[in-house]
Amino acid sequence: MAVIAWMAGIFYLPRLFVYHAEKATNSSELYSVYLEMERKLFYVIMQPAMITTWVLGLALVYTPGIIDWTDGWPWVKAAMVIAMTGFHEYLRTCMNRFQNNQNQRSGKFYRMINEAPTILMVIIVIMVIVRPF
């Protein structure tokens, strides 16, 4: 459940940034609504979900016999999870820019970066299910 909540937030927050960048001016009431939505999504849903995902994932890593680290797939999966965490932190930076009225990015930029977690997720799922190497 934690992974699903984290991924839902990672997909939705950049979409909020798109609308925030395109539809709200710094002085509008809509701007403050987006700020609140982004903040709650990040701190109430995404952050706890990411922490829970990491804690439970590390518990699996340290459970004997679950993962064979001589295979290549767990290393690729781990790298992609670390990259997803980096993306999560980058979203925090973007959110803080909006909070401080310092956003310089367009809606198009946020649309483009919204594809990154999809690519990471596909690679993670392939590594776990197919275990290609």
Owning domain of residue 65: 2-129
Question: What DSSP letter does each residue of 53-121 carry, written as one string?
Answer: HHHHHHHHHTSTTS--TTSSHHHHHHHHHHHHHHHHHHHHHHHHHHHTT-----HHHHHHHTTHHHHHH
pLDDT by residue for the chain (133 residues), tens only, comes to: 999 999 999 999 999 999 999 988 777 889 999 999 999 999 999 999 999 999 999 999 999 998 999 999 999 999 999 999 999 999 999 999 999 999 999 999 999 999 999 999 999 999 999 999 9
What letter would DSSP give residue 28? Answer: S
How many domains in the chain? 1
